[in-house]
Amino acid sequence: MSPTDLTGSDPRRWRALAVLGLIQFILVVDVSIVNVALPRIQHDLHFSPAGLAWVVNGYVLMAGGLLLLGGRLADMLGRKRLFLLGVGLFAVASATSGAATSPGMLVSSRFVQGLGEALAAPAALGLLVILFPDPRERTKALGIWGGLAGLGGTTGAVLSGVLTNFASWRWIFFINVPVAMFALLMVPRLVSESRMVREHHRVDVAGAATATGGLVAVVYGLLAAARHPWGSAQVLSPVLGGFGLLAVMVMIEARSAAPLVPLRFFANRTRAVANFASLFSTSAFFSWVFLMTLFQQQVLHYSPLQGGLGYLPLGFGIGAGMGIGTALMPRLGVRPVWVTSYFGAAVGLLINSQVHPGSGYFGGVLPGMVVLAVSFGLGFAPAMNAALHRVTGQDSSLASGVQGTMQQVGGALGLAGLCTLALRHAATQLSHGVAPALAVVHGYVLAFRIGAGMLVIGGVLVLVLLERVSTEGRNPLAESGIEPSVRRPSEALAQPARA
């Protein structure tokens, strides 16, 4: 039994928060840190343009697809145990990623890294909730937690630029190893084991496996379309097979006694719209970051350091947008602020769609980036508010976990689809005699414009279908009468969207 201070809390809790927060920081960084290094990785390991997308998608698909399963396993088997297992897997996969000698080795390592996050991240959040039973302390701890995640999202590109420019892209992975080892040594000393007694001692592994397998198959098929016709077996077989697996997943969830996501959760129209609309925003954002990185380094010939520093306004803009959105939402309501976010982000993408091989950073890249960043930040608070609309304490963790999963899935699908369209359009331009650099940029421009259209569709969905959402402070946990230590805190990783 762990020691407690006079408040009934574990006296080791703040030191434990520091270690857990450090891992959260690294996990968030690992989504964005690869982007700036992608051109060097492509050159050194001889990735195809479509294959390069798997360096991002391999991680995101596993982390998002298995997130809820990781939370359930942590509740049942022990949060500290799952955290240590996840961090251990993440460390080993980071080492093999850094040592990769082929595209297959790097992509498979990224899949394992994503699995490590899916186990470690929800378990860490669950441990944090248990460590801080006092509501005021917990609010402060969660604020620190969220701040570290936000810092990770904004510093990943800069850190990647520094490491890639002055050392090697391999160090963006190797740097994770000592941090993970530190956590593996310290957490057993600072955190006691905790698990939740569940009514059903079963885990919906089949649902998680079919969901993740289906998403991987669909993404594989979309990326294969960069090299094969849309109607070919190489494209249709994985895409149709993937959708078939997703249909099986829905049937499993409908019949399971302990489903990962009860279908009743989507009976609420606002929650369903909030999660579906998030697919459009993260699809556009992930693909923009990926293609803009390639544009800056392969077309404008920026160094990795220049490319990394060039993303600093993105982080500042998102932070500013979050502050503005949080302040405006109680006055204007969720729907107006969120719709403005979608349409504003679409404008930002359209501004960036004016780039050409002779564009400069301040005239071609920065204006659209700033508009895009502020607009995306504007939508963070409304999106979370809508995703938690009318949830009970029993469902609050599930709601934020589903939204986190949808964000990851949307990013993976968008990157696969828009990257493929950009590559196919560039190939068509080349066949018509267009200069290579111009053809490639035309492909990027097409993807930016389609992304803008997707954002407009998301905004229209929110405008037309979203119900009136209350912005008054409420505590679903208190309303349900469930004690904080009894709810399922680790089922959800309430994290901001990753660049």
Has residue 31 got a pLDDT over 70? yes
Least confident interval from 198-207, 351-360, 422-431, 479-488? 479-488
Nearest partner of 420 among 231, 285, 230, 245, judged by Cα? 230
pLDDT number for residue 156: 84
pLDDT tens-digit readout, 66-81: 888 888 788 778 888 8
pLDDT number for residue 1: 45
pLDDT number for residue 433: 93
pLDDT tens-digit readout, 38-49: 999 999 999 998
pLDDT number for residue 3: 54
pLDDT number for residue 10: 67
pLDDT number for residue 283: 94
The correct answer on CATH 1.20.1250.20 for the domain covering 265-499 is yes
pLDDT number for residue 485: 33
Phi, psi of 201 (to 5 degrees): -95, 45
Nearest partner of 451 among 318, 299, 348, judged by Cα? 348
pLDDT number for residue 489: 31
**Cα distance between the two ends of the chain:** 40
Has residue 217 got a pLDDT over 90? yes
Q: Within 10 A of 218 (CB to CB), how many other CB atoms are there?
A: 24
pLDDT number for residue 65: 86
pLDDT number for residue 184: 93
Has residue 261 got a pLDDT over 60? yes
Domain boundaries, the chain: 1-190, 204-257, 265-499
Has residue 7 got a pLDDT over 70? no
pLDDT number for residue 497: 35
Residues 6 or more apart from 119 whose CB is under 8 A from it? 66, 70, 73, 74, 82, 83, 85, 86, 89
- The average pLDDT across 125-150 equals 75
pLDDT number for residue 267: 82
Burial of 156 (0-12, 13-18, 19+ CB in 10 A): buried
- The average pLDDT across 304-321 equals 91
- Which is more confident, 488 or 441? 441
Has residue 337 got a pLDDT over 80? yes
- The average pLDDT across 208-219 equals 92
pLDDT number for residue 97: 97
Residue 396's pLDDT band, with cuts at 50, 70 and 90, is low
Q: What fold characterizes domain 1-190?
A: Growth Hormone; Chain: A; (1.20.1250)
Taking CA atoms, 230 is separated from 57, 114, 180, 223, 235, in Å, by 21, 29, 43, 10, 6
CA distance linking residue 497 with residue 278, whole number of Å: 10
Same fold, 1-190 and 265-499: yes
pLDDT number for residue 196: 57
CA distance linking residue 415 with residue 284, whole number of Å: 8
- The average pLDDT across 454-482 equals 68
CA contacts within 13 A on the Cβ side of 228:
14
Has residue 272 got a pLDDT over 60? yes
Per-residue b/e over 429-458, b at no fewer than 16 CB within 10 Å? Answer: bbeeeeeeebbbbbbbbbbbebbbebbbeb
